[in-house]
A and B are shown apart, each in its own frame.
Chain A
Amino acid sequence: MTVHFGGFASPFNTPSYLVAAVARRGVKGLTAISTSMGRGVKHRDSQSPWLPPELRPQDFFDVALMAELGQLKKGITTFAVGARHDLIYPFEERLADGSVEVEVLGQGSLAERIRAARAGIAAFYTPVGPGTDVAKGKEVRDFDGIPHVLETALHADFALIRAWKADRYGNLIYRGPRTFNETMAGAARITIAEVDEVVPLGDLKPDQIHTAGVYVQRVVVRPSTPVSDWTTPL
C-alpha cells in the first residue's frame, strides 16, 4: 500500500492525527511518499527549536513514526536523512540496517509527479535531473537542445493531508503555505483531510477555496484536546 503524507516539516502543517492513526492501526509494508522522512517522536522538538514550549503541539507526529514502528517498506522522498551527524532519525536507522528502501528525487519532480497523478498525466519531461543520479535508468530526451528526463505520475492508495477548514463537500482551505497538502489532494484513490474545523456549507467562498471537495473523500476533525501519545486508544 502506498500513502502520500502531506505537509512540509512543520508541526502546523503535518497531518499528525492521521499519522498517529496509521501507527495505531499498525498496518505494515507501506510505501511512504513524503518530502521528508521526518524526525520521529524523540527528535521532534528539534524541528522548530525556536518555538516557545507552550506553543509546541503535543500531538506532533511525522512519517518517521512509521519508520520507528517498522511499518515502512520504502520511502520516496527528497530528504532521506538528517543533515547533522549527531542526530540520527528513525528512517536513517532503518536505511542503515537495510530494512527499508529509498528513492530520493528533487522536490520539484516529486511535486510534479504527484500533481500528474491528480491531473491524469501519465508522465512528463522535466529539465531537472539529467546529468545527476536521479536520471539513472530513466529516459533522457532533448527538447530545444536541452536534455529532459521522463518522470512518471506518482499515485497512491491514500493521501493524508492537513488543512484548516472544510465544508460538508470536502472543500478545503489551508492556513499559510499550502505545501504538499494541496499538491497531494486528489492524487490518491482516497484523500483524507485532517482539519481544525468543519464550517457550514457556503462559509467557504467559491473564489477562496483552495482544494475542491471532489478531490477529498474523507474529512477528520482534529481533537480539540491534542492526543499526545499515539498509543492512547481513541
Chain B
Amino acid sequence: MGNEGTYPYLLLLWLLPLAGAIVNWAFGPQLKRAAGPLGSAFVGVSFIATVLMWGAATQGVPGGAIGAHQSLFSWIPGFDFGLLMDPLSLLWTLIITGVGFLIHVYSIGYMDGDKAFARFFAYLNFFVFAMLTLVLSDNFVGLLVGWGLVGLASYFLIGFWFFKPSAVAAARKAFVINVAGDVGIMFAIFMIFASVHSIAYGDAFAFTSYPSGWLFAICLCLFIGAAAKSAQIPLHTWLPDAMEGPTPVSALIHAATMVTAGVYLVARCAPLWSHDANAQLLVGTIGALTALVGAILGCGQWDIKRILAYSTMSQIGYMIMGVGVGAYEGGVAHFFTHAFFKAQLFLGSGIIIHALNNEQDVRRMGGLRAKLPFAFWAMLTGVVAISGIPFLGAGFFSKDLIIQGALEHGHPIMYAVGIVTAGITAYYMCRMLFITFLGNYRGNVDPSELGIRHPELAGTPAHEEDDAHESHGRAPAWLMNVPVAILMVPTVLIGWLMFGGENSPWAHFFAQTFPHETMAAPAPVSEMFTAVIVFVCVIIGIAVAWMRYGAAPAAENAVERLRVESVRMPAVLTNAFYFDAALDWIFVRASQLLGTLFGRFLDPQVIDGAVRETVFSAQWLGTLVRSFQTGLMRTYAFLIAIGATIFMIYYALAAGGVK
C-alpha cells in the first residue's frame, strides 16, 4: 500500500515536534518565555511540511490517490517498521499539526506565567510527535508505540500540576485505563502475528485465512484499545477526570486528537471489520450507547469542562458508531468537524476560565455575555456546530452522514439513538451556553446558595491557583483570541466539504480508502428526511434548554433554580451511572485484596515459614546429637560398647552367613 520511497517531508513533519520537545525539555530553564513561541514554531513548520507532503504523496500515484510509504528499520524478522501516508493518516496529520499549532499558540497566552512554562510546551510537542507516530505508522506495533506514547503525553499533561493530588490521581487513572487498552491491542497483535507472521497493515489486511473466530477476536481486542483511548463505555471514566489538566490540553488531546485515535484505529482496520459483521455490530452498539450515555451525563454536569468532556465522549460515540457500522466516511468526517468545533468550545471555555481565575463551575458564572463578548461568540458558533443546526455549522453534515449511514447499513436502532442523542446534545450544550452567558453574574454569590456542596470537586480550588499561575494577563489577549477566531472559520464552513453525497470532495478524497460493501437494501428513508427529523429533535432540545435556563423568568431567579436543580440532581447522574464505583470494586479493590493476602500473609507466613522450619529442624537434630555428649566418660564408654556390640552382631551373623 502506498508507493515505496524516501520522503524527507514525511520524516521532517514526523520528527520536528520531537525535536521541539527535546529542546524545550533540555533547555527549558534557559528558554524561559521563548519556549512557547519556539514550541509552536516547531509544530507550525510541521504543519507546513504536512501540506508539502500532501503534494509529494500525490506525485506519481495512479489516479492521484494519496499513498506514500517509507520503511525505517526492523527489530527482528517480521517486526519491520515504516511510515505510511495515505488519505486517512493525512487527514489526521493535518488536524494534529494544524489544530495543534493553533492550540500551541493559544497556550502561549493561556499558560503564560506558569512555573513550568517550557515543560508544558515540551509535553505538548511530545504529544504531537507521539500522535503523529500513531497515525503515520505502517504497522500495528508502531501504532501501539504511538498509542502508548500519546497515553504518556496525556498522563503528563493531565498531571501537569502534579502538586494537586486530584490531578495526580486523574493522571494515573487515565494512564492505567489506557494501558489496559494497549494490552488489548497487544493481544490483537499476537493473533495477527501468529497467523500472518507480520505486523504490517498491508499483510494483515491482505491476509484472508484467519482461523475461525480469530477475526472477531482480533477486532474485539483492537476495539478494547480503541474504547480505552476514545473513552467508550465502560472504559470512559478517565475522560471527565482528565479535565484536571490545563484547558489547552483538554482541547488538543481530550477533544481534537488523541481521543479520536480509536476512530482512527477502527477506520484504519476497516478491512478487518468489514469482514466480520459481529464486530461491526459490537462496535456500533458500543458507540451508540456511549453517545447516548455521554449526552445524558452531559445534562447533569456543572463543571464547564466536564460538560464538554461528556459531550466529547458522546460525539466520539457517534464517530465510533459510524465507523463501526461501516459508514467510515461519516465517522471520519465527524472526527474532522468535531476536531474544529470541540477545540473551539474548549478554547472558548478556556478564555472564560482564564478570565474568571480558574472558576469552572457554570453556576458561579452567568451574564458573561457582556463581560466576554468574544468568548460568547466563539462558544455560540461552537454550540451551533455541535448541535447540528442545518447548514449553520459543520456538525450538521458529518452527524447526518453517520445517522444516515447507520440506517443504510441496516441498524435502525442506532439510527434512532443517533437522532435522540442529537436532541439531547442540543439541550445540554445550550444549557451550558445559557447558564454561562445569560442572566446575571453569580460569581459573588455564596456557593452554598447555589447548592455547591463540595467546591473542591469542581475545577481548581481557589487556594492552589497561586501555585499554578503567579500572574495573569501578562500575555496579550489576542494570543488566545486569534486561534479561536481562526477556528471559527472551519467550524462554520468545513462541513460543506461533505455536502453532495457520492461526488462530494470528501467522498472523492476517500474514494480508494475504505471498503465499500454493497448495501443489503437501499435506505428506507432519504437523507433529507433524516435531516428534518434530526432538526426537529434539535429544535426541541434547544427550546427546552431555553425555557429552563434562557428565558426571562428563568434568568430572573436563576440562583434559586440552580440550587434546587443541584440538590434535586438524581444520584445516578451525579455518580455518572456508577461506572467509577463498579470499576473500582471489580478491579482495583480486588487486586489490592489479593496483593494484601499474598504480601502480608502468604509470603511471610506460609512460604517463608516452611523454609524457617527446615532450618530449625537441622538445629534440633544438632541438639539431639549433642545430647549424647553428656561429658561423662562412662556414657562414652557405653556408646563404644553398644557400637562394638552391634559390630559383633553383624560380624557374627556375617560369619555364619559365609559358612
Partners in one complex: no
